[in-house]
Amino acid sequence: MRATDGDARLGELHTPHGIVQTPAFMPVGTQGAVKAVRHLELEEAGAEIILANTYHLLLRPGDELIARRGGLHGFIGWARPILTDSGGFQVYSLAQRRVVTEEGADFQSHLDGTRYLLTPERATDVQARLGSDIAMVLDECLALPATRDEAAIAMARSVRWAERCRRRLLALRDGAVPDVRASNPGQAQFGVVQGGAFQDLRDESVDATVAIGFEGYAIGGLSVGEPVDQMYAVASATARRLPADRPRYLMGVGAPEDLVECVARGIDMFDCVLPTRNARNGQLFTSQGRINIKNVRYAEDDDPLDPQCGCYTCRHHSRAYLRHLYLAGEMTAAVLNTLHNLSFYLDSMRRIRDAIAFRTFATFRQEFLLSAGSAGTP
Amino acid sequence: MRATDGDARLGELHTPHGIVQTPAFMPVGTQGAVKAVRHLELEEAGAEIILANTYHLLLRPGDELIARRGGLHGFIGWARPILTDSGGFQVYSLAQRRVVTEEGADFQSHLDGTRYLLTPERATDVQARLGSDIAMVLDECLALPATRDEAAIAMARSVRWAERCRRRLLALRDGAVPDVRASNPGQAQFGVVQGGAFQDLRDESVDATVAIGFEGYAIGGLSVGEPVDQMYAVASATARRLPADRPRYLMGVGAPEDLVECVARGIDMFDCVLPTRNARNGQLFTSQGRINIKNVRYAEDDDPLDPQCGCYTCRHHSRAYLRHLYLAGEMTAAVLNTLHNLSFYLDSMRRIRDAIAFRTFATFRQEFLLSAGSAGTP
Sequence-distant (6+) residues with CB within 8 A of B27 are B34, B42, B47, B50, B51, B271, B275, B276, B342, B345, B346
Looking at the structure, tell me whether residues A235 and A357 fall in a common domain.
Answer: no
Task: Say if residues B29 and B73 touch (Cβ distance below 8 Å).
Answer: no
Mutate which of B335, B336, B339, B340 to test chain A, going by most A C-beta atoms within 10 A?
B335
Catalytic one among A5, A85, A139, A258? A85
Indicate the residue among B273, B289, B319 that finishes a domain.
B273
Could you read off the pLDDT of B74-100 as tens digits, one per residue?
999 999 999 999 999 999 999 899 999
Sign of CA dihedral A239, A240, A243, A247: positive
Mutate which of A331, A336, A337 to test chain B, going by most B C-beta atoms within 10 A?
A331
User: How far apart (Å, rounded) are the C-alpha atoms in residues A204 and B132?
Assistant: 68
Nearest to A334 among B302, B327, B331 (CB): B331
Cβ contact, residue pair A40, B336, below 8 Å:
no
User: How far apart (Å, rounded) are the C-alpha atoms in residues B251 and A246?
Assistant: 63
ipTM (interface predicted TM) = 0.97
Mean pLDDT of A320-340: 98
For residue A47, tell me if it sits in a domain. yes
User: How far apart (Å, rounded) are the C-alpha atoms in residues A276 and A25?
Assistant: 12
Cβ contact, residue pair A60, B317, below 8 Å:
no
Indicate the residue among A272, A299, A323 that finishes a domain.
A272
Could you read off the pLDDT of B253-310 as tens digits, one per residue?
999 999 999 999 999 999 999 999 999 999 999 999 999 999 999 999 999 999 999 9
From the list B305, B231, B230, the residue with the least C-alpha distance to B270 is B231
Nearest to B33 among A61, A312, A330 (CB): A330
Could you read off the pLDDT of B116-163 as tens digits, one per residue?
999 999 999 999 999 999 999 999 988 888 999 999 999 999 999 999
For A339, the closest chain B residue by CA position comes to B38
Nearest to A302 among B31, B69, B76 (CB): B69
Nearest to A60 among B320, B328, B331 (CB): B328
Cβ contact, residue pair A60, B35, below 8 Å:
no
Could you read off the pLDDT of A254-281 as tens digits, one per residue?
999 999 999 999 999 999 999 999 999 9
Contacts of A52 in chain B (CB under 8 A): none
Cβ contact, residue pair A335, B36, below 8 Å:
yes
Contacts of A318 in chain B (CB under 8 A): 69, 75, 77
Cβ contact, residue pair B61, A302, below 8 Å:
no
Cβ contact, residue pair A77, B33, below 8 Å:
no
User: How far apart (Å, rounded) are the C-alpha atoms in residues A199 and A203?
Assistant: 6
Looking at the structure, tell me whether residues A77 and A94 fall in a common domain.
Answer: yes
Looking at the structure, tell me whether residues A237 and A264 fall in a common domain.
Answer: yes
Quote the pLDDT of residue B266.
98
For residue B378, tell me if it sits in a domain. no
User: How far apart (Å, rounded) are the C-alpha atoms in residues A261 and A235?
Assistant: 10
User: How far apart (Å, rounded) are the C-alpha atoms in residues B268 and B219?
Assistant: 11
Contacts of B111 in chain A (CB under 8 A): none
Nearest to B60 among A56, A327, A331 (CB): A327
From the list B270, B269, B293, the residue with the least C-alpha distance to B280 is B293
CA distances A187 to A81, A183, A196, A214, Å, are 10, 9, 28, 11
pLDDT at A11 over 60: yes
Quote the pLDDT of residue B107.
97
Domain count, chain B: 2
User: How far apart (Å, rounded) are the C-alpha atoms in residues B103 and B157?
Assistant: 10
Q: Supply the DSSP symbol for A71.
A: S
Contacts of B330 in chain A (CB under 8 A): 31, 33, 35
User: How far apart (Å, rounded) are the C-alpha atoms in residues B214 and B229?
Assistant: 28
What is the SS3 assignment for A225? coil
Could you read off the pLDDT of B181-206 as tens digits, one per residue?
999 999 999 999 999 999 999 999 99
Quote the pLDDT of residue A376.
62
- CA torsion angle for B222, B225, B226, B229 (degrees, to 10)? 80
Contacts of B35 in chain A (CB under 8 A): 330-332
Mean pLDDT of A225-247: 96
From the list A338, A331, A247, A328, the residue with the least C-alpha distance to A294 is A328
Q: Which long-range contacts (CB under 8 A, 24 or more apart) does A96-105 make?
A: A100/A140, A102/A157, A102/A160, A104/A138, A104/A161, A105/A138, A105/A140
Contacts of A77 in chain B (CB under 8 A): 316-318, 321
User: How far apart (Å, rounded) are the C-alpha atoms in residues A317 and A327?
Assistant: 15
Quote the pLDDT of residue A373.
74
Looking at the structure, tell me whether residues A53 and A98 fall in a common domain.
Answer: yes
Contacts of B324 in chain A (CB under 8 A): 31-32, 60-61, 75
User: How far apart (Å, rounded) are the C-alpha atoms in residues B158 and B140?
Assistant: 6
From the list A41, A46, A57, A75, the residue with the least C-alpha distance to A334 is A41
Phi, psi (deg, nearest 5) at residue A54: -60, -40
Could you read off the pLDDT of B243-255 as tens digits, one per residue?
999 999 999 999 9
pLDDT at B376 over 70: no
Could you read off the pLDDT of B315-351 as tens digits, one per residue?
999 999 999 999 999 999 999 999 999 999 999 999 9
Nearest to B324 among A35, A61, A68 (CB): A61
Could you read off the pLDDT of A358-369 as tens digits, one per residue?
999 999 999 999
Cβ contact, residue pair A75, B36, below 8 Å:
no
How many beta carbons lie within 10 A of that of residue A164, not counting itself?
19
Indicate the residue among A272, A302, A326 that finishes a domain.
A272
Identify residues of B whose CB sits under 8 angstroms from chain A CBs.
31-40, 56, 60-61, 65, 68-69, 75-77, 299-300, 302, 312, 316-318, 320-321, 324-325, 327-328, 330-336
Amino acid at A243: P
Looking at the structure, tell me whether residues B266 and B285 fall in a common domain.
Answer: no
User: How far apart (Å, rounded) are the C-alpha atoms in residues A151 and A193?
Assistant: 12
Contacts of B300 in chain A (CB under 8 A): 65, 68-69
Cβ contact, residue pair B69, A320, below 8 Å:
yes
Identify the helix (H) or strand (E) that includes residue A292: strand A289-292
* pLDDT > 90: percent of chain A: 95
Give chain B's mean pLDDT. 96
Quote the pLDDT of residue A358.
97
Mean pLDDT of A18-30: 98
Quote the pLDDT of residue A372.
83
Looking at the structure, tell me whether residues A283 and A267 fall in a common domain.
Answer: no
Quote the pLDDT of residue B1.
72
For residue B193, tell me if it sits in a domain. yes
Mutate which of B44, B326, B331 to test chain A, going by most A C-beta atoms within 10 A?
B331
For chains A and B, count residue pairs whose Cβ atoms are closer than 8 Å. 116
User: How far apart (Å, rounded) are the C-alpha atoms in residues B128 and B188?
Assistant: 10
Window from A138-142, A341-345, A357-361, B207-211 with minimum mean pLDDT = A138-142
Sequence-distant (6+) residues with CB within 8 A of B321 are A32, A75, A76, A77
Quote the pLDDT of residue A138.
98
Looking at the structure, tell me whether residues A230 and A285 fall in a common domain.
Answer: no
For residue B375, tell me if it sits in a domain. no
Range of the domain at B354: 279-370
DSSP state string for B176-224:
--TT---S-TT-EEEEEE--TT-HHHHHHHHHHHHHH--SEEEE-S-SS
The residues of B annotated as belonging to the active site are: 85, 271
From the list A294, A285, A357, the residue with the least C-alpha distance to A325 is A294
Q: What is the separation, in whole angstroms, between the first and last Cα of chain A? A: 40
Name residue A248's beta-bridge partners.
Answer: A217
Contacts of B312 in chain A (CB under 8 A): 38, 40
Mean pLDDT of A73-94: 96
Quote the pLDDT of residue A375.
64
* pLDDT > 70: percent of chain A: 99
For residue A378, tell me if it sits in a domain. no
Looking at the structure, tell me whether residues B202 and B341 fall in a common domain.
Answer: no
Quote the pLDDT of residue A122.
98
Cβ contact, residue pair B321, A32, below 8 Å:
yes
Looking at the structure, tell me whether residues B256 and B285 fall in a common domain.
Answer: no
Contacts of A61 in chain B (CB under 8 A): 299, 320, 324, 327
Mean pLDDT of A171-188: 96
Quote the pLDDT of residue B333.
98
Quote the pLDDT of residue A188.
98
For residue B212, tell me if it sits in a domain. yes
Identify residues of A whose CB sits under 8 angstroms from chain B CBs.
31-40, 56, 60-61, 65, 68-69, 75-77, 299-300, 302, 312, 316-318, 320-321, 324-325, 327-328, 330-336
SS3 track for B78-137: CCCCEEECCCHHHHHHCCEEEEECCCCEEEECCCCCCEEEECHHHHHHHHHHHCCCEEEC
Task: Say if residues A275 and A27 touch (Cβ distance below 8 Å).
Answer: yes
Catalytic one among A5, A63, A139, A271? A271
Mutate which of A42, A76, A109, A311 to test chain B, going by most B C-beta atoms within 10 A?
A76
Looking at the structure, tell me whether residues B121 and B210 fall in a common domain.
Answer: yes
User: How far apart (Å, rounded) are the C-alpha atoms in residues A372 and B249?
Assistant: 50
pLDDT at B373 over 80: no
For residue B21, tell me if it sits in a domain. yes
Q: At B374, is the pLDDT very low, low, confident or very high (cuts 50, 70, 90)?
A: confident
For residue A327, tell me if it sits in a domain. yes
Burial (CB count <10 Å: 0-12, 13-18, 19+), residue A183: buried
Q: At A2, is the pLDDT very low, low, confident or very high (cuts 50, 70, 90)?
A: confident
pLDDT at A378 over 90: no
Amino acid at A330: E
Cβ contact, residue pair A335, B60, below 8 Å:
no
User: How far apart (Å, rounded) are the C-alpha atoms in residues A329 and A319?
Assistant: 15
User: How far apart (Å, rounded) are the C-alpha atoms in residues B57 and B40?
Assistant: 22
Mean pLDDT of A165-187: 96
Looking at the structure, tell me whether residues A303 and A252 fall in a common domain.
Answer: no
Stated pTM of the model: 0.97
> How many Å lie between the alpha carbon of B95 and the closest alpha carbon of chain A?
16
> How many Å lie between the alpha carbon of B130 and the closest alpha carbon of chain A?
14
Could you read off the pLDDT of A134-172 as tens digits, one per residue?
999 999 988 888 999 999 999 999 999 999 999 999 999
In the annotation, is A271 catalytic?
A: yes
Strands A248-250 and A216-219: parallel
Give chain A's mean pLDDT. 96
pLDDT at A36 over 80: yes
> How many Å lie between the alpha carbon of A97 and the closest alpha carbon of chain B?
22
Phi, psi (deg, nearest 5) at residue A108: -110, 140
Looking at the structure, tell me whether residues B193 and B262 fall in a common domain.
Answer: yes
pLDDT at A123 over 90: yes
Q: What CATH number should be reported for the domain holding residue A54?
A: 3.20.20.105
Cβ contact, residue pair B318, A77, below 8 Å:
yes
